[in-house]
Amino acid sequence: MLFVLVNDLNKHIGSEVRVRGWTHKIRKLGGMNFLMLRDRTGVVQAAIEGEVAEKIKGIGVESVISVRGKVVKEDRAPGGVEIKAADIEIVSKVSDEIPLEINKKDLPANIDTVLEYRPIALRHAKEQAIFMVQAEIAKSFADFFKGEGFTQIFTPKLVAAGAEGGAGLFKVDYFDRKAFLGQSPQLYKQIMVGVFERVFEIGHVYRAEEHNTSRHLNEVVQMDIEMGFIDGQDDVMDIQEEFLKRLSQDLKRNYSKEFEMHGASIPEVTKIPRLTLEEVQKLIEKEYKKECRGLPDLDPEHEKMICEYMQKQGKGDYVFVTHFPAKKKPFYLMDDAEHEGKSLSFDLLFRGIEISSGGQRNHLYDVQVEKFKRMGYDPENFKDYLSIFKYGMPPHGGWSIGLERITMKMLGLSNVRQASLFPRDRHRLTP
Amino acid sequence: MLFVLVNDLNKHIGSEVRVRGWTHKIRKLGGMNFLMLRDRTGVVQAAIEGEVAEKIKGIGVESVISVRGKVVKEDRAPGGVEIKAADIEIVSKVSDEIPLEINKKDLPANIDTVLEYRPIALRHAKEQAIFMVQAEIAKSFADFFKGEGFTQIFTPKLVAAGAEGGAGLFKVDYFDRKAFLGQSPQLYKQIMVGVFERVFEIGHVYRAEEHNTSRHLNEVVQMDIEMGFIDGQDDVMDIQEEFLKRLSQDLKRNYSKEFEMHGASIPEVTKIPRLTLEEVQKLIEKEYKKECRGLPDLDPEHEKMICEYMQKQGKGDYVFVTHFPAKKKPFYLMDDAEHEGKSLSFDLLFRGIEISSGGQRNHLYDVQVEKFKRMGYDPENFKDYLSIFKYGMPPHGGWSIGLERITMKMLGLSNVRQASLFPRDRHRLTP
């Protein structure tokens, strides 16, 4: 007799089957014991009496068990079926009382407690939902870009220098010298445009930033793309928009239940508005009476305001903000020939927070060398990177999306740590 | 007029189109110029005369260009079509002579040269083929395990302690303390079996090993799985075998041309032999007169011998070697109750080299604590990890496959560095 997954039990009504999983809950009702068994697909109720009831005495929730019994229709049970337990085998008995109640509707609100007991907290249905959605986002990303002719690449995270200058890098003892943890695969993905034209990567990036906020982590997973032969940065935004449409479709088809569990909605994506930083600042001043014109970037508060405003106007949950000042953006971005001092750059805001940055890059050797000099970098330090521009690079651009941030805002979580299995921050290196 | 990919040109015979890409080669033949243009899908020949020929004077190979012209059938040209160039636009002219001839059948044999000029060397067709195959291996892995009910996870690479003890770890300055780069997601994927039963991960792992051989790198991509509710380690090998079958099918369907280019064959997978270490050692002594019985592991030489022997016997390119001595294997492996001193562990050899290790893990708290003590570890240092065994863990096991190693052996490469875009070794941190 094979084991049946909880999800498949309704195909076995009237038969004897075996199921296995965790003891999710035990309760007595009118002399009858009901044990809720949880496997990776769901929870089923087992009705237990007589000798079998003796076996589960004192086993405690989360003990791993195997139940044999007949499947019957039972409208009052979750999933509409129940197992009349003929036998129970205890596979692993818990040896300690569980520190968090993971069989209640919600976990305790205190995030520090949830993170302290992370291995157990993650067994809660709502926690599981977060990481099922996260896996789907990564899969949807990989599938979409593979379909668009992109090649997946794996680039090193141990690097000799940072992609965005020297600040914010973690130092590594690399044999007899120093290495750093990569902040971004930027330079590598540009090199790879020279090879495959279109590439994507899903990988860790590191930022040694001291701030300890609800939106920053020191280690995150980044979804990166870079594509050649673009006519301008709108091409790069277009493909991001197409991906976000596809993502919403994938999530709707496969994970609506998980969104419901979190009281969250899957974004409707039609046409994402594209506003310059100046236009956004003008709007914020007009609508929110907040002075911000001339600032080189949006504050978190401004990001919230513009998103709220666009949502109210029925323009959706995403907003592109474009044309940031060149001075405040990394060296690899192309200056906008039409707007003095501006770069061909954009951020994507989603429900009040930046989840992606991108733009068009320099692709001509002389232009990049000149830009290095203007920004005070020594081109000698970027020799390998610069070499690609000597040997023919097409106009290109790309972007990255932070996997934890998009997961957080998708599900309406309040802290990015909730969207990382084992978050790394200023104080957290364990579990 | 839209741009057409080289691969699609035979659908446009008789029409005027535009193509864009790199100047792969230029040659003169009877007063006519022929320019080979390369994009991400292939190479096409453009016939150039008159004024247009003037434009390409001195542009040099690898310059990025855009060609407009009529597509004609031409059996003597690669792909069977040719473009009669009506106009050429030079997008990015090379500013230096290219340091490697990437339009010849083979790159120079010296791997140091190839790695020194990596950004350019990767443009060679055979180099591209390696990383197209590598991307397909990763995709095939993710697709197969997703289909088997596994959830993709992303676990931290910045850790407080190593999964296999303290040796061979890279140290990181993590604010005011030390962190390490993870050698393996082992402990995290076991934790996640308690959450999702079945998980997989594709991510970087780090080994600070001093040796500088043709089969070691200090940063590699590892494909990991871990699954709960197994009946023994054979279940874990079974699913690996199924994956390898699927992988060969995927590669055959999509990348036969790339294998041909490397003169390599895609392995036929039926039933992979499973031999204990003792059986393998006996065979080697018998067939190769090499004393090795009693050794705790196979040497590289032994790995080659047993693979060669099995291939000669018509048993295929893969061999499982099982039941290594418990003392030489990591603490998380389960001891074999039936064979004193042996662990439930296996290596997968492929064409003469180990590409995967796995086994069944301890899942009971007391057993793991006792094993820590026996092996001289302080269980206090593994508190978070140990906690999962207090709260109910099913029997479980898993394995990892090194992405670079399987790529190397698939394509018959002689050095694992050839299967890493930007390899990190004892001396190499750039490009």
Active site residue B357: yes
Contact B119 A388 (CB under 8 A): yes
Note the pLDDT of residue A400. 98
Model confidence at B162: pLDDT above 70:
no
A129-150 burial, b at 16+ Cβ within 10 Å, e below that, comes to bbbbbbbbbbbbbbbbbbeeeb
In the three-class reduction of DSSP (H, G, I as helix; E, B as strand; rest coil), residue A306 is classed as helix
Q: Which of A158-172, A296-310, B135-149 has the lowest mean pLDDT?
A: A158-172
Our CA-based measurement puts residue B115 at a distance from the nearest CA of chain A, in whole angstroms, of: 11
Active site residue B258: no
Burial class, A18, CB count within 10 angstroms (exposed 0-12 / middle 13-18 / buried 19+): middle
Our CA-based measurement puts residue B258 at a distance from the nearest CA of chain A, in whole angstroms, of: 15
Q: Percentage of residues in chain A with pLDDT exceeding 70?
A: 98
How many CB pairs (< 8 A) connect A and B? 249
Q: What pLDDT band is residue B2 in, cutting at 50, 70 and 90?
A: confident
Contact A421 B155 (CB under 8 A): yes
DSSP 8-state symbol, A328: G
**∠ CA(A282), CA(A231), CA(B63), 5° rounding?**
140
Side-chain half-sphere of B306: how many Cα atoms within 13 Å?
Answer: 30
What are the φ/ψ torsions at residue B278 (nearest 5 degrees)? -60, -45
Q: Is residue A107 part of a domain?
A: no
Contact B188 A135 (CB under 8 A): no
Q: Which of A82-96, A104-118, A251-265, B410-424 has the lowest mean pLDDT?
A: A104-118
Residues A293 and A155 reside in one and the same domain: yes
Active site residue A387: no
In the three-class reduction of DSSP (H, G, I as helix; E, B as strand; rest coil), residue A91 is classed as strand
Q: Which site among A218, A429, A430 would you substitute to test the B interface, given the most B Cβ atoms closer than 10 Å to its Cβ? A: A429
Residues of chain B neighbouring A146 (CB-CB closer than 8 A): 139
Model confidence at B193: pLDDT above 80:
yes
Note the pLDDT of residue A37. 98
What's the pLDDT tens digit per position in B399-419? Answer: 999 999 999 999 999 999 999
Mean pLDDT, residues A333-343 taken together: 95
Contact B219 A158 (CB under 8 A): yes
Residues of chain B neighbouring A419 (CB-CB closer than 8 A): none
Model confidence at A164: pLDDT above 90:
no
Between CA A122 and CA B155 the distance in angstroms is: 13
Model confidence at A193: pLDDT above 70:
yes
* DSSP for A167-200, written as a single string: TT--EEEETTEEEEE-S-SHHHHHHHHHHHSEEE
Q: What pLDDT band is residue B163 in, cutting at 50, 70 and 90?
A: low
Q: Percentage of residues in chain B with pLDDT exceeding 90?
A: 90
Our CA-based measurement puts residue B420 at a distance from the nearest CA of chain A, in whole angstroms, of: 8
Q: At what angle do helices A383-390 and A186-196 cross, to 10 degrees?
A: 30
Residues B412 and B276 reside in one and the same domain: yes
Residue B132 Cα distances to B101, B128, B252, angstroms: 21, 6, 13
Q: What pLDDT band is residue A237 in, cutting at 50, 70 and 90?
A: very high
Residues A129 and A46 reside in one and the same domain: no
Q: Is residue B115 part of a domain?
A: no
Q: Which of A107-116, A132-141, B17-26, B230-239 has the lowest mean pLDDT?
A: A107-116
Burial class, B411, CB count within 10 angstroms (exposed 0-12 / middle 13-18 / buried 19+): buried
Model confidence at B166: pLDDT above 70:
no
Residue B248 Cα distances to A150, B240, B245, B267, B351, angstroms: 22, 12, 5, 6, 14
Contact B188 A159 (CB under 8 A): no
Side-chain half-sphere of B300: how many Cα atoms within 13 Å?
Answer: 4
Contact A64 B426 (CB under 8 A): no
Model confidence at B344: pLDDT above 80:
yes
Note the pLDDT of residue B394. 98
More confident residue, A209 or A151: A151
Residue A45 Cα distances to A36, B94, B328, angstroms: 4, 70, 44
**Of these residues, B38, B118, B216, B363, which one is catalytic?**
B216
Q: Scanning every residue of chain A, which has its alpha carbon at the shortest distance from the alpha carbon of B421? A: A155
Q: What pLDDT band is residue B30 in, cutting at 50, 70 and 90?
A: confident
Whether residue B278 contacts residue B325, with contact meaning beta carbons closer than 8 Å, is answered with no
What's the pLDDT tens digit per position in A386-407? Answer: 999 999 999 999 999 999 999 9
Q: What is the mean pLDDT of chain B?
A: 95
Nearest neighbour of A391 by CB, restricted to B120, B170, B218: B120
Q: Is residue B102 part of a domain?
A: no
Q: Scanning every residue of chain B, which has its alpha carbon at the shortest distance from the alpha carbon of A191? A: B119
Q: What pLDDT band is residue A61 in, cutting at 50, 70 and 90?
A: very high
Our CA-based measurement puts residue A403 at a distance from the nearest CA of chain B, in whole angstroms, of: 10
Note the pLDDT of residue A162. 67
Q: What pLDDT band is residue B165 in, cutting at 50, 70 and 90?
A: low
In the three-class reduction of DSSP (H, G, I as helix; E, B as strand; rest coil), residue A81 is classed as strand
Q: What is the mean pLDDT of chain A?
A: 95
Our CA-based measurement puts residue A375 at a distance from the nearest CA of chain B, in whole angstroms, of: 22
Residues of chain B neighbouring A365 (CB-CB closer than 8 A): 95
Mean pLDDT, residues B183-202 taken together: 97
Residue A138: both structure tokens together: 């990564």
Contact B175 A151 (CB under 8 A): no
Residues of chain B neighbouring A369 (CB-CB closer than 8 A): none
Burial class, B278, CB count within 10 angstroms (exposed 0-12 / middle 13-18 / buried 19+): middle
Note the pLDDT of residue A31. 81
Q: Is the pTM of this model over 0.95?
A: yes
More confident residue, B209 or A423: A423
What is the 3-state secondary structure of chain B? Answer: CCECCHHHHHHCCCCEEEEEEEEEEEEEECCEEEEEEEECCEEEEEEECCHHHHHCCCCCCCCEEEEEEEEEECCCCHHHEEEEEEEEEEEECCCCCCCCCCCCCCCCCCHHHHHHCHHHHCCCHHHHHHHHHHHHHHHHHHHHHHHCCCEECCCCCEECCCECECCCCCEEEECCEEEEECCCCHHHHHHHHHHHCEEEEEEEEECCCCCCCCCCCCEEEEEEEEEECCCCHHHHHHHHHHHHHHHHHHHHHHHHHHHHHCCCCCCCCCCCCEEEHHHHHHHHHHHHCCCCCCCCCCCHHHHHHHHHHHHHCCCCCEEEEECCEHHHCCCCECECCCCCCEECEEEEEECCEEEEEEEEECCCHHHHHHHHHHCCCCHHHHHHHHHHHHCCCCCEEEEEEEHHHHHHHHHCCCCHHHHCCCCCECCECCC
Q: Is residue A110 part of a domain?
A: no
Note the pLDDT of residue B414. 95
Contact B403 A154 (CB under 8 A): yes
- Domain hosting B32: range is 6-92
Mean pLDDT, residues A171-179 taken together: 95
Note the pLDDT of residue B381. 85
Residues B178 and B41 reside in one and the same domain: no
Residues of chain A neighbouring B191 (CB-CB closer than 8 A): 118-119, 122, 431
Contact A138 B152 (CB under 8 A): yes
Mean pLDDT, residues B121-125 taken together: 96
Note the pLDDT of residue A161. 80
Nearest neighbour of B156 by CB, restricted to A122, A195, A422: A422
Contact B429 A393 (CB under 8 A): no
Q: Taking the CB of residue B58, how many other CB atoms lie within 10 A of it?
A: 6
Whether residue A236 contacts residue A189, with contact meaning beta carbons closer than 8 Å, is answered with no
Q: What pLDDT band is residue B164 in, cutting at 50, 70 and 90?
A: low
Contact B364 A92 (CB under 8 A): yes
Note the pLDDT of residue A94. 95
Between CA B403 and CA B393 the distance in angstroms is: 29
Note the pLDDT of residue A163. 63
Q: Is residue A118 part of a domain?
A: no
Contact B20 A229 (CB under 8 A): yes
Mean pLDDT, residues A313-340 taken together: 96
Residues B321 and B406 reside in one and the same domain: yes
Q: What pLDDT band is residue B383 in, cutting at 50, 70 and 90?
A: confident
Our CA-based measurement puts residue A210 at a distance from the nearest CA of chain B, in whole angstroms, of: 8
Model confidence at A239: pLDDT above 80:
yes
Beta-bridge mates of residue B29: B32
Q: Scanning every residue of chain B, which has its alpha carbon at the shortest distance from the alpha carbon of A364? A: B92
Model confidence at A270: pLDDT above 90:
yes
Our CA-based measurement puts residue A129 at a distance from the nearest CA of chain B, in whole angstroms, of: 10
* Residue tagged 């930022």 (tokens): A207
Residues of chain A neighbouring B177 (CB-CB closer than 8 A): 429
Residue A229: both structure tokens together: 């032969």
Domain count, chain B: 2
Burial class, A195, CB count within 10 angstroms (exposed 0-12 / middle 13-18 / buried 19+): buried
Active site residue A211: no
Q: Scanning every residue of chain A, which has its alpha carbon at the shortest distance from the alpha carbon of B158? A: A429
Q: Which of A187-201, B150-164, B225-239 has the lowest mean pLDDT?
A: B150-164
Model confidence at B167: pLDDT above 80:
no
Residues A215 and A287 reside in one and the same domain: yes
Residues A131 and A75 reside in one and the same domain: no
What are the φ/ψ torsions at residue B85 (nearest 5 degrees)? -65, 125
Residues of chain A neighbouring B63 (CB-CB closer than 8 A): 392
Residue B9: both structure tokens together: 């040109």
Note the pLDDT of residue B10. 95
What is the 3-state secondary structure of A2-49? Answer: CECCHHHHHHCCCCEEEEEEEEEEEEEECCEEEEEEEECCEEEEEEEC
Nearest neighbour of B156 by CB, restricted to A152, A387, A424: A424
Model confidence at A431: pLDDT above 80:
yes
Residues B19 and B154 reside in one and the same domain: no
Dmax (CA) for chain A in angstroms is 84
Residue B271: both structure tokens together: 């039933």
What's the pLDDT tens digit per position in A7-23? Answer: 999 999 999 999 999 99
Active site residue B38: no
Residue A306: both structure tokens together: 């513009």
In the three-class reduction of DSSP (H, G, I as helix; E, B as strand; rest coil), residue A124 is classed as coil
DSSP 8-state symbol, A230: -
Mean pLDDT, residues B355-379 taken together: 95
Between CA A46 and CA A394 the distance in angstroms is: 63
B4: closest CA among B64, B71, B63?
B71
Residues A71 and A135 reside in one and the same domain: no
Distance linking the first and last C-alpha atoms of chain A: 39
**Of these residues, A354, A356, A361, A363, which one is catalytic?**
A354
Residue B181: both structure tokens together: 């780069």
Residues B247 and B392 reside in one and the same domain: yes
Our CA-based measurement puts residue A93 at a distance from the nearest CA of chain B, in whole angstroms, of: 6
Between CA B210 and CA B170 the distance in angstroms is: 11
Q: Is residue B107 part of a domain?
A: no
Q: What pLDDT band is residue B161 in, cutting at 50, 70 and 90?
A: confident
CATH number where A262 lies = 3.30.930.10
Q: Which site among A122, A391, A416 would you substitute to test the B interface, given the most B Cβ atoms closer than 10 Å to its Cβ? A: A391
Model confidence at A166: pLDDT above 70:
no
Note the pLDDT of residue A210. 87
Q: Is residue B387 part of a domain?
A: yes
Between CA A119 and CA B23 the distance in angstroms is: 55
Note the pLDDT of residue B406. 98
Contact A40 B149 (CB under 8 A): yes
Contact B431 A384 (CB under 8 A): yes
Q: Scanning every residue of chain A, which has its alpha carbon at the shortest distance from the alpha carbon of B403? A: A154
Residues A157 and A301 reside in one and the same domain: yes
Sequence-ordered strand ranges (E) for A41-129: 42-48, 64-73, 81-92
Residues B331 and B412 reside in one and the same domain: yes
Active site residue A140: no
Model confidence at B141: pLDDT above 70:
yes
Active site residue A76: no
Our CA-based measurement puts residue A302 at a distance from the nearest CA of chain B, in whole angstroms, of: 30
Nearest neighbour of A95 by CB, restricted to B96, B365, B395: B365
Residues of chain A neighbouring B132 (CB-CB closer than 8 A): 151
Mean pLDDT, residues A277-287 taken together: 97
Note the pLDDT of residue A212. 87
Model confidence at B313: pLDDT above 70:
yes
Peptide bond between residue A431 and the one before it cis (omega within 30 degrees of 0): yes
Q: Is residue B98 part of a domain?
A: no
